[in-house]
Structure 1
Amino acid sequence: MSEVHAVILAGGSGSRLWPLSRQHLPKQFLALDGKATLLQTTINRLSPTIAAKNVLIVTQESHAKGEAYHALLPYRALYEPIGRNTAPAIALAAAYLMAEGDDPVMVVLPADHIIKDEVQFREHLDIAIRAAESGKLVTFGIQPTRPDTGFGYIKAHPGENGQIHEVERFTEKPDLATAEMFLKEGDYYWNSGMFVWRASVILAEIQRYLPEVHGIVQSILTESRAGKTFQQAVEDHFATMPSISIDYGVLEKSDRVSLIPCDIGWNDVGSWQAVHEISPKDNNGNALQGNVIAVGCKNSLIRAEKRLVAAIGVEDLCVIETADAVLISKSDRTQDVRKVVDALHAKGATEHICHTKVNRPWGSYTVLEEDPEGFKLKRIEVAPGARLSLQSHRQRSEHWVVVSGTATVTNGDEVITVHKNQSTYIPIGAKHRLENRGNEPLHIVEIQVGDYLGEDDIQRYEDNYGR
């Protein structure tokens, strides 16, 4: 068998699961069941077919250097400076793998799907890998269970061996009447977005159907061979990529595409209604998560992240509570959550961008209070051995009070130690750094005062994490 590598596409925004999913921490990096993240679950189900050392994650640079830093740390990764849909991401990954001197089979998977029957999935995966070794572009087609208008469809008929079907055509998301016709006619499958192929074969098809994408990838390869790292060359050229999906750009036109029909308990977790469908339920059909009291409720998803949520007599609702936002929606309207996110963006709000608690490579900060009169109150946690960047701010000063642990503080030319129940002051414009040289977490309370308190008022001079 050929060398097999997994390419996990983890660059999505996950806006349909707001308010839990945010722009800086989208759903692939969330643990919807309170255990492993969707990304980690995707990687885990590949074992033993594909080892962790053969996993390559393609994600946005902002995720890798921000809230998802620790989730991505154990794996190889390529960082997109800007999102450009699936075709450029896949082309980049294929070129990167071939630049290592091999022509592996690539198993391309979204990072944020759920598969209940993992044994059956791996059996289908073995079949797909063998087909890909012979030059086929293989996709997994999901047996439809209802006339769903939220998925693209693929029509395919059985091939010679019965396990591999030959694709006739791809269809974009249909209206309800068309979806009902597809189910009645048969031989239509939901497009799962999961693919298997050789790196060289998909690159050849990209060259044929998307020559602009292929040309940019070749420029990246040329620069990486001339002395730059592959990632540095990506940063120089990736923004010029067109934004196009692999389905629309290549697969709908190629004559190499085959399909494996699957009934594997697949769910793309594309809405809160979908989360309700896959969640454990009580005798009344309720999925209750967190500190929830439900009295006389039926067929509802109620999730509490921060506070107690009590519901009485509600039916067919999704109620999602976070520290700074609450979503209440009829279950069959949760696809419209995107409209809420669009409205937040239009009004210049931040509740769709980040949570009140924000993870950083060095630890985390939590916004406790922000006042329009010009102050912000934060709780900051710095992990043992970690330190923030050497930085300054143009429009705010900062007051730090240590509540546990011991802080090493750089303030201008001075380096001081600040113990529990002691404080220090950072003037506007002063170069400063916070560091935890101890073995226990460092907790401080920070009070910011200034005319502008945005997170983008920062100039970094040194940073351990390449930001």
Structure 2
Amino acid sequence: MTLPITPVILSGGAGTRLWPMSRAERPKQLMALTAAQTMLQLTALRTGDAARFARPVVVASRAHADMVEQQLEQVGIRPALLILEPAGRDTAPAIALAALAAADPETPLLVMPSDHVIDDLPAFHAAIARALPYVADRWLVTFGIAADAPETGYGYIAVGDALGDGVHRVARFVEKPDRAGAEAMLAAGGHAWNGGIFLLRADAYLDALAAHAPDILAAARTAMARGERAGDRIYPNGEAFMASPARSIDYAVMEQADRIAVVPVAMGWSDVGCWDALHAMTPHDGDGNAVGGDVLAIDTRNCLLRSDGPTIAAIGVSDLIVVASGNHVLVLPRGRSQDVKRIVAALNATRS
């Protein structure tokens, strides 16, 4: 009997590049940025077909436990497990916790960040179906996002030899490039964005950790063994978990192991990683403005204007990002929103 796929939703990120709306107490995955539902809700609903997918396992911050449960309940989803990290240690340890919790070691895990957009669900599900036979044969599979612009904010995957229909070996992973490097890869073809979505068997992932990052596996095992459980909530032991290095699955496993495959797919994906990305994907008015909340725009063009409280009134400006949330207002030129993390770092430094 084929085991159903267990979605593993990673919801521990802070989303600092969407400050001031996304903050530690309510990060972007718990916000409705692109639709009526929050990004966490949209992620969970992508795998709502009970014939193909088991109930999800959500790995989240302890501080967000109640919000995560409430939001999923609102869309009729009850997680199989809610694994609550004492603090974030990046994706490799988080996925290890989920793999250790799998009821069957051969369970295929579909690892998804909770704060991405996927517009073409049939394309996503078809890519999953292409990957499954290789996952059953213990390949670790990543999904390569069709690159349509020379983005410097993403890592890239060089697509290697074909293994089967739409499934390829990974030739290599490429760190976030400069502009010239991104343009060269786009022009050459054969490269996809690394979207951070994976399909892998629980035991195959744990074996890869044992071979390439045993310190992460040991910390995760101890944290789960010494942890506590209350209903569907698991609280890994904090001291043991914090002994794990903070490392992504890419560095810890995917760039080290041998049987790594990629399924290239065009599925309307975005990580909504900055305000410029949100401007690009939000419906515009006749002057190219993307507005949300209480906004008045006169003789204003190509701006993102968004507020969850005070009125934003703009006149005679263009190509700006203006975001008002609580007691904070962000103003910067379009094209500079990757620099928001510098603002967050500066604010944190003044408060420490």
Task: State the TM-score, normalizing by the size of structure 2.
Answer: 0.92
Greater relative contact order (CA < 8 Å, ≥ 6 in sequence): 2
**Contact 2:5–2:54 under 8 Å retained in 1:** no
1:106 matched to 2:109: yes
1:33 matched to 2:38: no
Structure 2: 5+ residue stretches without partners: none
**Contact 2:158–2:170 under 8 Å retained in 1:** yes
Query: How much does 1:323 deviate?
Result: 2.6
SS, match of residue 12 in structure 1: coil
Which of 86, 89, 97 does residue 84 from structure 1 map onto? 89
Give per-residue Cα distances to partners, 1:414-465, cap 9 Å, x unaligned.
xxxxxxxxxxxxxxxxxxxxxxxxxxxxxxxxxxxxxxxxxxxxxxxxxxxx
Q: Distance in 2 between matches of 1:219 and 1:257?
A: 27
**Contact 1:64–1:72 under 8 Å retained in 2:** no
Query: What is the number of residues matched between the two proteins?
Result: 343
Which stretch has the larger CA shift, 296-305 or 108-117? Answer: 296-305
Given the superposition, is the C-alpha separation of residues 209 and 301 from structure 1 closer, same or farther in structure 2, using an over 3 Å criterion?
Answer: same
Higher helix proportion, which one?
Answer: 2
Which of 166, 169, 190 does residue 169 from structure 2 map onto? 166
Given the superposition, is the C-alpha separation of residues 35 and 202 from structure 1 closer, same or farther in structure 2, using an over 3 Å criterion?
Answer: same
1:267 matched to 2:270: yes
1:317-466 → structure 2 map (5 Å cutoff): 317-348=320-351
Query: How much does 1:276 deviate?
Result: 0.6
Higher strand proportion, which one?
Answer: 1
Q: Distance in 2 between matches of 1:50 and 1:185?
A: 40
Q: If you compute each CA radius of gyration, which structure gives the higher value, 1 or 2?
A: 1
**Contact 1:25–1:68 under 8 Å retained in 2:** no
Query: How much does 1:335 deviate?
Result: 0.7
Q: Distance in 2 between matches of 1:120 and 1:69?
A: 28
Q: Distance in 2 between matches of 1:49 and 1:120?
A: 18
Q: Distance in 1 between matches of 2:319 and 2:257?
A: 43
Structure 2 partner of 1:310:
313
Query: How much does 1:62 deviate?
Result: 1.8
Structure 2 partner of 1:63:
64
Task: State the TM-score, normalizing by the size of structure 1.
Answer: 0.70
Structure 1 partner of 2:7:
6
Given the superposition, is the C-alpha separation of residues 49 and 117 from structure 1 closer, same or farther in structure 2, using an over 3 Å criterion?
Answer: farther
**Residue identity in the other structure for 1:147:** P
Q: Distance in 2 between matches of 1:2 and 1:68?
A: 26
**Contact 2:39–2:117 under 8 Å retained in 1:** yes
Give per-residue Cα distances to partners, 1:295-336, cap 9 Å, x unaligned.
122211111211222111221111111231111111100111
Q: Distance in 2 between matches of 1:326 and 1:221?
A: 41
1:44 matched to 2:49: no
Q: Distance in 1 between matches of 2:252 and 2:168?
A: 21
**Contact 1:39–1:112 under 8 Å retained in 2:** yes
Give per-residue Cα distances to partners, 1:327-369, cap 9 Å, x unaligned.
11111001111111111111118xxxxxxxxxxxxxxxxxxxx
Q: Distance in 2 between matches of 1:3 and 1:268?
A: 26
Q: Distance in 2 between matches of 1:304 and 1:223?
A: 44
Q: Percent of aligned positions with the same letter in both sequences?
A: 37
Structure 1: 5+ residue stretches without partners: 350-467
Q: Distance in 2 between matches of 1:118 and 1:140?
A: 14
